[in-house]
Amino acid sequence: MKNPAQLAFNAVLLLAVAVLYFLHFNQRPAVAPAVAPVAATETVAPVVDTTASAPVAESAPAATPAPAVAAAPAGPAPAAGAIVYVESAKLLDGYQGMKDARRSFEGKAKGWERQNQALVSSFRTAVEQYQKTAAGLTPEQRAAAEQKLQQQQQQGAAEQQKIQAQAQEAEGKLTQTVLESVNKKVEAYGKAHGYKMILVAAPSGTIAYGEKGLDVTAPVLAYLNSEYHKK
């Protein structure tokens, strides 16, 4: 049978779980998921690695380093048939639909955090009440009270797991809904401008390099927000 000190420790543990859960859903940095690339209408030839060069004869003079090339200024929009790209982080962070979805989720997360606080507060109050009266109880009464507290603790932990699963499911559905909407709009934008393909430059390094003139993040973002506000 657990003693009062052990039960008090379990109360603190339950409180710590609730606090960590709240931090997970309300203070973690928002990482925008990558937008799925729009399917291409034509087959694109594989990129050839131009960095490799033929072996140089020993008598050949050493090559001098090439001078640094300044970044080219932004030019006109890519022509029809071009392969362009968007930066997923900038696109999703600036998309109003994603901002509204995050606010909606944060509101729900606060409700789940309140439920956790209620569970913790109820269990802590029960433990404190037991500690105040334990000295005057018979061994049988103490055993019954401790068993009741243990059951309450187990029920609280099960309820917390249920809330966490609910939160994860809600977050997944919300994110999926936004991404599906974004993908459809990006596809429509690409078709309207006659682009062969729109690639996604994600922080994970999907695209190692792309000319700035092929970056259509800004106009695509403007299009997404314009379409979103039409709803």
pTM, rounded to two decimals: 0.58
How many whole angstroms separate alpha carbon 87 and alpha carbon 199?
A: 9
Q: Provide the number of structural domains found in the chain.
A: 1
Note down the domain range covering 152.
4-42+75-229
**Residue at 60 is within a domain:** no
What is the model's pLDDT at position 75? 58
What is the model's pLDDT at position 81? 83
**Residue at 65 is within a domain:** no
**Residue at 62 is within a domain:** no
What is the model's pLDDT at position 35? 42
**Residue at 216 is within a domain:** yes
Rounded average pLDDT per 10-residue block, the chain, 231 residues = 41 40 39 39 34 38 39 63 91 94 91 91 93 91 93 92 92 92 95 94 82 93 93 70
**Residue at 69 is within a domain:** no
**Residue at 211 is within a domain:** yes
**Residue at 180 is within a domain:** yes
Could you tell me the two tokens for 208? 């190692």
How many whole angstroms separate alpha carbon 27 and alpha carbon 120?
A: 20
Query: How many angstroms from the chain centroid is the CA of residue 214?
Result: 27
How many whole angstroms separate alpha carbon 3 and alpha carbon 7?
A: 6
220 Cβ neighbours under 8 A, 6+ residues apart: 86, 91, 186, 189, 198
**Residue at 205 is within a domain:** yes
- Taken as a whole, the chain contains a residue count of 231
Beta strands in the chain (DSSP E): 83-87, 197-201
